Structure 1
Amino acid sequence: MACRISVISRHISSPPLEHLDDLGIRVAPEVRSALSSGVGVVALESTIVSHGMPYPQNFHTAQEVESIVRANGAVPATIAILDGVPCIGLSLAELERLAKLGTMVSKTARRDIPYVIARRGNGATTVSATMFFASKAGIKVFVTGGIGGVHRQGESTMDVSSDLTELGKTPVAVVCAGVKSILDIPRTLEYLETQGVTVVSYSTDEFPAFFTPNSGCKAPCRADSVEECADIIEASTKFGLSSGILIGVPIPAEHAAAAKNVESAIQSALHEAESRGIAGNSVTPFLLKRVNELTGGDSLAANIQLVKNNALVGAKIATALTTRLSRFTKSSCH
């Protein structure tokens, strides 16, 4: 007798991939096969490759992150725009090309997508653009380092990352180390609440602060296992909530940079950015680079470790989520 796919499994399963072909979005063979066969897929942004660190460190780190995803049962899908073509999943050669181009590649948020494509340019996707393309492909889990947020003095400058509005309207679970500590974390959490975003801390009551496990802000929700995280994503999907989910995974304590030193470096970098007139989407790359210099490399080392840890957790969540899809599909067969 034919299978009747349940409402839940229909919501969780990936949409047909033909519509991506029609849109001119290229899906890597490994990713296409995983999406078609129900294997967990983890989206990865590309700005961290082009703008996060120098070559060849960025290339090696990107390879290691993809390897961690595979080792934990899922398929990595690094997302970028190459020669005007949105790509979901990159070959090793494409990944190295992106790494070598570095900051010559356009940092691409949602608003920049039409411009980069129309000019047949190269774009490294930020959180918002990566979420957009991941959602188009039906990818439910996305791993990054940390998200953007409300900048310090944001109440005056109105400088709020598009990551937050994307989380409010795109149903993708973002696994990260919390909000970058160069930002205003309490106001960012308030903004996420306004956007209707479910915010979860992994195995802790405190929302993580990127370089360090502690922000001083209590998390709205807590999940103590990847299965609980998958349950939350499943429930959100089942009821058709159009907003995303933010899962904050604290950096392992042994890799955390000393909070006091990082905070001091952040304050110095903020004053320097202001005095030099650095604004807009140039602020975060400048601050991260300057903080790394001021901390003698400690912040970059912490950044790499937290991304790897996020990849491990994210891959396990994606695998747990697809296990639920398989269970629901089988239970609806007669």
Structure 2
Amino acid sequence: MLVVSEEVREALAARRPVVALESTIIAHGLPRPRNLQVARELEEAVRQEGAVPATIAVLDGRPHIGLGKEQLERVASEDGIRKLGHRDLPPAVAGGASGATTVSATALLASLAGVRVFATGGLGGVHRQWTVTQDESADLGLLARTRITVVCAGVKSILDVPATLQRLETLGVTVAGYGTDRFPGFYLSDSGHPVDWTLTTPEEVAEVMRAQNTLRMPESALIVANPVPEEEQLDPELHARVLADALHACEAEGVTGQAVTPFLLDYLVRHTDGASLRANLAAVRGNVRLAARIATAWTRM
């Protein structure tokens, strides 16, 4: 059922490095035509590091691992492209739907195809006021049962970061800071919370990946939390002020459920004059490059 591109298939067969990339940022995360430019830029960044990009999406009911030029353009420009989490994959496949994959769907499909490293921006997590809403991203549960290494800039700062870290610990998902003992906060280099483990080279990450296999650990992910450089992060004072305003606006307008995250992220972009988007893209670029280096170290092991 998986459609693996010829380039990705040959790379996997030859044990060359491959990096999975999600497609939601292309279809839903950026305005047109900037979204297609960024998609191409991220794939090129993977190639510059000596790895093969595998952007993942579902097209006409078929999950694709690696997109061609026309397919990438379709995801970026076609109206009606759905947003697919892993729970949406069965009806999307059965119904012949087309959709961009979120973190959970990308991680699952990448793992099924044999891709071990995945780069994204920020993970989903436990939402604020969880005790009232019981709102938690599907990312966490999926990563607790999927063997993949996810390079990210922590979790989105609009979430309850300490509760998310606690949930990951409960689920048995290993979290390590890359070159830091602090957990990054997506737009921010430091969320204000520590991590238990620090890794400093791609080879060290690959060693942990090998140890997961050697120890026959449960099929859970390894999260490599890679902070956005301080000089490219969103100003922390601006972030705190605008996020507080965004949360008040969200409550005042009665936004709930799945609409909360896009509302808050859009509010941040508009009220920081695009600075939050620039920090987001800086984080993604760094994560993509690091993921390619990790994938290379993994294939050499």
Same fold (TM over 0.5): yes
Q: TM-score, normalised by structure 1?
A: 0.88
Unaligned 5+ runs, structure 1: 1-23, 325-334
Describe the SS at the equivalent of 2:290: helix
2:30 maps to amino acid = M
Q: CA RMSD in A?
A: 1.1
Shift in Å at residue 305 of structure 1?
1.1
Equivalent residue in structure 2 for 1:290, among 267, 271, 294 = 267
**1 CA distance for matches of 2:157 and 2:108?**
25
Post-superposition Cα deviations, 1:86-121, rounded to whole Å, max 9, x if no partner, equal 00000111111111136x321111111111112211
- 1:127 is aligned to 103
CA apart distance, 1:138: 1.2
* Partner residue, 1:275: 252
Alignment of 1:30-109 (within 5 A): 30-101=7-78, 104-109=80-85
Q: Is the 8 A contact 1:51 1:285 kept in 2?
A: no
Residue number in structure 1 paired with 2:138? 162
Q: Which has the higher contact order (CA 8 A, sep 6+)?
A: 1
Q: CA deviation at 1:274?
A: 2.4
Between the aligned partners of 1:124 and 1:238, the Cα distance in structure 2 is 34
Query: C-alpha distance in 2, partners of 1:279/1:220?
Result: 33
Deviation at 1:254, TM superposition (A): 1.7
Partner of 1:254: 231
Report the Cα distance in structure 2 between the residues aligned to 1:229 and 1:262, rounded to whole angstroms: 31
Distance in 2 (CA, whole Å) between partners of 1:140 and 1:315 is 11
Map 1:172-183 onto structure 2 (within 5 A): 172-183=148-159
2:206 to 216, 222, 230: 230
Higher strand proportion (structure 1 or 2): 2
Match of 1:219 among 164, 170, 195: 195
User: Residue 57 of structure 2 contacts residue 100 of structure 2 at CA under 8 Å; is this kept in 1?
Assistant: yes
Q: Which residue of 1 aligns with 2:220?
A: 243
Which of the pair has more CA radius of gyration? 1
Residues 142 and 172 in structure 1, CA contact (< 8 A), matched pair in contact too: yes
1:211 and 1:302 in contact (8 A); partners too:
yes
Q: Does 1:321 align with 2:284?
A: no
Q: Report the Cα distance in structure 2 between the residues aligned to 1:118 and 1:156, rounded to whole angstroms.
A: 35
- In the other structure, the counterpart of 2:122 is 146
1: CA distance, partners of 2:85 / 2:269: 24
Alignment partner for residue 310 of structure 1, among 284, 287, 290?
287
CA distance in 1, matches of 2:129, 2:266: 21
Q: Measure the CA separation in 2 of the matches of 1:255 and 1:98.
A: 28
Deviations 1:113-166 (A, max 9, x none): 111112211111111111110110111100000000001111221100010111
How far is the alpha carbon of 1:215 from its aligned partner?
A: 0.9
Give the SS at the match of 1:310.
helix
Alpha-carbon offset, residue 234 of structure 1:
1.3
Deviation at 1:276, TM superposition (A): 2.5
Q: CA deviation at 1:169?
A: 0.5
CA contact under 8 A between 2:2 and 2:113: conserved in structure 1?
Answer: no
Aligned-pair distance for 1:281? 2.3
Which amino acid in structure 1 is aligned with residue 241 of structure 2?
Answer: S
Amino acid at match of 2:282: Q
